[in-house]
A = this chain, B = another copy of it.
Amino acid sequence: MNSYVHYRDWFNVRNTLPKEVRIGFVPTMGALHQGHISVLEKARRENDFLVLSIFVNPTQFNDPNDYQDYPRTLELDRRIAAECGVDALLIPGKDDMYPSGNDMPILTQHPLSQIMEGKVRPGHFSGVLTVVMKWLHWVNPARVYFGEKDFQQYYLICELVKQYFLDLEVIGCETLREASGLPLSSRNQRFNKEGLELAHRFAKLLRSGSYDDLASIQRRLEAAGLIVEYIEKHFGRLFVAVECHGIRLIDNFRL
């Protein structure tokens, strides 16, 4: 199993695979946790050949500090990849992924890219869609897997695949949660003890009381010391983003 494979070398591997071999692809930004593992296990079961990519994509970060501070745990990630039966692990650098800059990006004006995460993080979804398009060409999977924790991302990638006639399936994977309801996230690794307690409290507060009155939920979150970026209902789901001890937390779930 290689860690960095140049896309031309990978093309050579890919092109020797028989046509009927179905590639499952799990693109990630690394810092793998149990949520990723469950996705990898699902993809392992559903496909003949499993590709995992790890790339912290700079063009989807509007905040350079957030990019800098994004957790990187490569050695652990490699072990997890091996344990999950990954056939090819792709870990390109920035210059591999953007060999001549980023002057032909996909620019989304889709309505769902303009609200919530799209509003709070200008340019975020354009960066996501651009890098995902590159990855889909690079890997050429039959199925690609995304977590529903980033529901807007998942939905917009489904739309990208439709609009650009990509011949593959996008599989949304349910969010894994702690007992409190807190979704597993790479960013959780950045909390200290106090921050983590508040994060669990956030999850519990979200799950108490009626969803008819979002303003009162917001007041409860704020009273607990969270800064609420947004709390909105769409597609019969509740979407929320808060700042918790200086770290962003997002969640969404079916009501």
Q: Which of B19, B100, B110 contacts A159 (CB 8 A)?
A: B100
A163 touches B107 (CB 8 A): no
**Structural contact, A106 and B104, CB atoms closer than 8 A:** yes
- Docked CA distance A162–B164 (Å): 18
Partner of A99, one of B18, B103, B110, B163: B163
By a CB distance below 8 angstroms, the chain B residues around A207 are none
B residues less than 8 Å from A167 (CB atoms) = 11, 15, 137, 140
The answer to whether B134 and A164 have CB atoms under 8 Å apart is yes
CB A90 to nearest CB in B, in angstroms, measures 11
Q: A19-B19, A104-B159, A104-B160 are in contact. Are A165 and B110 (CB under 8 A)?
A: no
Q: How many copies does the complex hold?
A: 2
Chain B min CB distance to A211 (Å): 29
Contact B110 A104, beta carbon cutoff 8 Å: yes
A137/B166 in contact, CB under 8 A: yes
Bound complex: CA A137 to CA B137 (Å):
9
A1-44 interface code vs B (CB 8 A; 1 in, 0 out): 00000010001000100110000000000000000000000000
Does A52 count as interface, using CB distance less than 8 angstroms? no
A107's contact among B98, B105, B166, by CB below 8 Å, is which? B105
Which chain B residues lie closer than 8 Å to A106 at the CB level? 104-107
A155, CB-defined interface residue at 8 Å: no
Mark out the residues of chain A between 105 and 123 whose CB falls within 8 Å of any chain B CB in the assembled complex.
105-111
Is A196's beta carbon under 8 Å from chain B? Answer: no
User: Which chain A residues in 71-88 approach chain B with CB under 8 Å?
Assistant: none
Q: Check A129 for interface membership: any CB of B closer than 8 A.
A: yes
8 of the cross-chain contacts (CB-CB < 8 Å) are A11-B167, A98-B163, A99-B163, A104-B106, A106-B107, A107-B107, A133-B133, A138-B165
Q: Besides the contacts A15-B167, A104-B109, what 13 more A-B pairs have beta carbons closer than 8 Å?
A: A7-B165, A11-B167, A99-B162, A100-B163, A103-B108, A103-B110, A104-B160, A104-B163, A105-B106, A105-B107, A106-B107, A137-B165, A137-B167
